[in-house]
Amino acid sequence: MTTTTDAPVVKTRGQRFTGAAANYIDERTSISGLVKELGRKIFPDHWSFMLGEVALYSFIAILLSGTFLTFFFQPSMAEVHYDGSYVPLKGLQMSAAYSSALDISFDIRGGLLFRQIHHWAALLFISSIGLHMLRIYFTGAFRKPRELNWVIGFVLFVLALAEGFTGYSLPDDLLSGNGLRIIDGMLKGIPVVGTWISYLLFGGEFPGTDIVARLFTLHILLLPAILVAALGVHLLLMVVNKHTQFAGPGRTNENVVGVPVLPVFAAKAGGFFFVVFGVIVLIASFFTINPIWNYGPYDPSPVSAGTQPDWYIGFADGALRLVPPGWEFVLWDRTWSFNIIAVVLVLVVFLGLVAFYPFIEGWITGDKREHHIADRPRNAPTRTAIGAAGVTFYAVLWAAASSDLIATHFKVSLEGVIHVLQALFFLGPIIAFFVAKRVCIGLQKKDREIALHGYESGRIVRLPGGEYIEVHEQLDDYERWRLVSYNDYQPLMLRPNARGRITFGQRLRAGFSRWFFEDRIAPVSRNELERGGHH
Amino acid sequence: MAQHEDGGDVGSAVEKSEPFVPATGTAVLSSDAIQNPGLPPHHERVTDQDPKKEKTAERRVITLFYLSIVGSVFAVAAYIAFPITPGDTGSVRLNTMLLGIGIALGLLSLGLGAIYWSKNLMRGDELTESRHLTRGSEPTRARAAEIMHEGNVESGFSRRTVLRNTLIGALVATPLPAVAIFRDLAPAADPVKLLEHTMWKKGTRLTKDPTGLPIKASDVTLGSVFHVIPEGLNDTEDRLEEKAKAAVLLMRLKPEDLKELPERKTWSYDGIVAYSKICTHVGCPVALYEQQTHHLLCPCHSSTFDVTNHCEVIFGPAKRPLPQLPIAVDSEGYLIAQSDFTEPVGPSFWERS
């Protein structure tokens, strides 16, 4: 392309250099196309959209700090006698892995800082993924065309858990060794293949001398490779689908309103990366996490009371604790450990429901349109209620992981805590469902009321008759739009199909649809608004 | 992304279709819905209106960036100036803290500066971009279908069925070696055999964990508990694997408190009983002994065992009682095992019966 300018503009050295460099790269990569497509891409703004960013940026912090750690960590279970500078453990027999983790903590400048950055960043990574998922769920941002990206995000969540667990086990300290022992015990409880899976994983009998090196390979090679690939697809699909936005004046299903990538979003997101990283470093420099030197090297015999896994594994550990006594049988000369099998099934079903929820809701609504406007949670009461039930279910399992600490802190009996949690395992989600649904419908009614009759102004007027009234102020069009612009569904009507039959699938779908949409508050219509104004 | 409709007679293979209208399901589409009022007017920021404020904002960003440089340099200085003195945990703390503060200052000021810049000095109004359906345009889809069709015709993929099926078969078979080669993750031995035995055998002395000193029956006073390993464990090659199976708890109760089965009467010695320390649930050490109630509690999942009643489970997810180690006393008064455990210890497994 040639450009002609009216007056010859003298370019500075810097401009000439930038132009030449850009030209050099473009002539070899055609990168100008990418800049043209993405440079002015619009990103909508909302505080909750940050959660995914936090996850992304903490992952980068994990990669950077983890790479530093690999230069010093020895993933070996060879027995050594500790000769580092932490006095209480001097001379003790331990694995090279534990010894090198101690060296990182006590003999390498910045080693402890980077261990703690790595651990805190991992905790932030998993918690921000969890919150990000909740945001996506409660705003319905998983609906078409984003169902697949939800599934990819779910895979990322599972990978993050796996990364967390494998990393946690690497220092080969007493606490993480006990965690591995539990994994070993759970594997052995799986019918048919369990004994062999454990035997192969540990390279012989538990604990063996291989597991740390194997987990290390998983932790720094296999899992991160899959994670980075899935993350790439996740972000690519986000660009292709464009980000959702919340309902607001001027925002429609056919547009995106926000700031362009260059320069505003790039500066804000780039700056935010440094802020996230900075906050992690700040926490890591002041707050100890996983003080492995207090636990000692792994030994199958000692254990301390009140042991806790890292918080994100808590729900699985809690599920193990809630199984009532006696769930194990010998049948056909084989041991059926339902105290393990039931836990695995419950977790798989729970996680499966999370992974496939978009398809379930899509089937119930039958809605094949694209949705780019994020719902306010109240405007999808049943979905929000299901979410609340799911969160409660998770919370019960999570609390169960600390049942002994709850018992000792609140001076109640351990049996009592377990029995209450066993009851809540079933009742909690049901109660949460109904409460959340009622709250949503209540909020929707309030929105309707405000949209129709305005809000209370706080101005009390005495009428000539002596009556006092509070003057209601009408909303302006922009404010009202937020309250009335949502998608509404009605229950599915059962109709015979072309062959005059009502299939079981149809009945099932109609049943779900009724459950989903029978209590619904329709958005305020124009007609209602006009009539409402003349009260 | 830009759409490339390259080559081919666009859309020739498929007749022109109606504009795509997705199903709305049970959505309520009201013609009476309130109309979107459109974008609200843009409000200018103070930095847009007042050049002095703009200048102040710019200076703030510059200050933050300077501060960031100071932080990074400080981190390097702290790294050098506050080394770790071996054995001095205070020096570790100081090094960690000062290095961390420097790095954090470098990162945070940089980040906050960039955000402040973008929020106050860069363009402040919002822009609008239109969305298109995610699915490709009709001509693109038609061309894609045509390409796939041509690929199929030109290769004969669905016409040459045997060829296609053998291809699929070959693709399924290729990963099989990758599965097989994982057999040698563990040694050739049968894990079930290994799980059935521990180091204990007739005459093995009970010794203290971790010192390995033998225990006299007379040392075991009423109400005391000993963490026990078999004699010679510390010298074995696979110390931890053996310990993971052979760890034992030794307790002395009043003989009248013990409810013993007749066939196990000889397994205890004067109220001293030995039980496997490895939980039958998932294998944690059952390390907490309540002297008053004679209960053993597993700290991992709260399984509780009653020592007076052959360590039956009285609470928690475990099913099987802790296996008992039959003990006796040798001529010198030291506690010894009468035999190995009579059943596999530790977590249940499929092949166990």
Mean pLDDT of A484-509: 85
| Confidence category of residue B71, pLDDT binned at 50, 70, 90 | very high
**Lowest mean pLDDT: which of A122-136, A344-358, A362-376, A386-400?**
A362-376
Chain B residue nearest residue A323, CA to CA: B317
Alpha-carbon torsion angle B189, B193, B197, B203, nearest 10: -80
- Which of these, A155, A187, A181, lies nearest to A169 by C-alpha position? A181
d(CA A77, CA A132): 38
Q: Show which of residues 178-217 on chain A sit within 8 Å of chain B, judged by CB atoms.
A: 178, 181-182, 184-186, 188-196, 198-208, 210
Q: Count CB neighbours of A446 within 10 A.
A: 13
Q: Which is more confidently placed, B193 or B171?
A: B171
Q: Is B203 left (phi over 0), alpha (psi -120 to 50) or beta?
A: left
User: Does the pLDDT of residue B298 top 50, yes or no?
Assistant: yes
Q: Show which of residues 282-341 on chain A sit within 8 Å of chain B, judged by CB atoms.
A: 282, 284-286, 298-307, 317, 320-328, 330, 333-335, 337, 339-340
- Which of these, A43, A53, A47, A46, lies nearest to A277 by C-alpha position? A53
Query: According to the model, what pLDDT value does residue A8 have?
Result: 65
Q: What tokens appear for A444 in the block?
A: 């929707």
Tokens 């030449």 belong to A20
Mean pLDDT of A129-135: 95
| Confidence category of residue A7, pLDDT binned at 50, 70, 90 | low
C-beta atoms of B34 and A523 within 8 A: yes
User: Does the pLDDT of residue A147 top 50, yes or no?
Assistant: yes
**pTM of the predicted model as reported, rounded to 2 decimal places:** 0.91
User: Does the pLDDT of residue A53 top 60, yes or no?
Assistant: yes
Tokens 């209208």 belong to B21
CB pairs under 8 A between A and B: 386
Beta bridge partners of A173: A297
Q: Which DSSP symbol is given to B219?
A: G
| Confidence category of residue B17, pLDDT binned at 50, 70, 90 | low
User: Does the pLDDT of residue B216 top 90, yes or no?
Assistant: no
3-state helix vs strand vs coil in chain B, percent to 5? 40, 15, 45
C-beta atoms of A204 and B187 within 8 A: yes
Give the model confidence (pLDDT) of B60-70 as tens digits.
999 999 999 99
Any A CB within 8 A of B89 CB: yes
Mean pLDDT of A345-358: 94
Q: What is the mean pLDDT of chain A?
A: 90
Q: Show which of residues 271-330 on chain B sit within 8 Å of chain A, judged by CB atoms.
A: 277-279, 281-285, 287-288, 299-302, 313-320
- The answer to whether A381 touches A519, Cβ cutoff 8 Å, is yes
Q: Which DSSP symbol is given to A5?
A: -
Q: What is the mean pLDDT of chain B?
A: 87
Give the model confidence (pLDDT) of A260-283 as tens digits.
998 999 999 999 999 999 999 999
C-beta atoms of B87 and A403 within 8 A: no
**Going from the N-terminus, what domains does chain B have, and what CATH number goes with each?**
46-120 (no CATH), 139-180 (no CATH), 195-337 (2.102.10.10)
Query: According to the model, what pLDDT value does residue B154 have?
Result: 94
B282 vs chain A: nearest CA distance in angstroms? 4
Query: According to the model, what pLDDT value does residue A11 have?
Result: 83
d(CA A343, CA A159): 20
C-beta atoms of A367 and B23 within 8 A: yes
Mean pLDDT of B293-316: 88
Give the model confidence (pLDDT) of A170-227 as tens digits.
999 988 888 899 999 999 989 989 899 999 999 988 888 899 999 999 999 999 999 9
C-beta atoms of B227 and A484 within 8 A: no
**% of chain B exceeding 70 in pLDDT:** 95
Query: According to the model, what pLDDT value does residue B9 have?
Result: 45
User: Does the pLDDT of residue B13 top 50, yes or no?
Assistant: no
- ipTM confidence: 0.88
C-beta atoms of B25 and A368 within 8 A: yes
In chain A, CATH 1.20.810.10 sits at 42-247+255-375
Q: Could you say which of B209, B301, B349 has the minimum Cβ distance to residue A335?
A: B349
Contacts of A526 in chain B (CB under 8 A): 32-35
A330: three-class secondary structure by DSSP: strand
**Lowest mean pLDDT: which of A128-142, B143-157, B226-240?**
B226-240
Q: Give domain A42-247+255-375's CATH number out of 3.30.1360.70, 1.10.10.10, 1.20.810.10, 1.10.10.520.
A: 1.20.810.10
Q: What angle do CA B337, B338, B341 make, to 5 degrees?
A: 80
| Confidence category of residue A6, pLDDT binned at 50, 70, 90 | low
Give the model confidence (pLDDT) of A280-332 as tens digits.
999 999 999 989 998 889 988 887 777 778 889 889 999 999 998 888 888 88
To test the contact with chain A by mutation, choose from B58, B118, B353 the residue with the greatest count of A C-beta atoms within 10 A, namely B118
Query: According to the model, what pLDDT value does residue B7 have?
Result: 42
| Confidence category of residue A521, pLDDT binned at 50, 70, 90 | confident
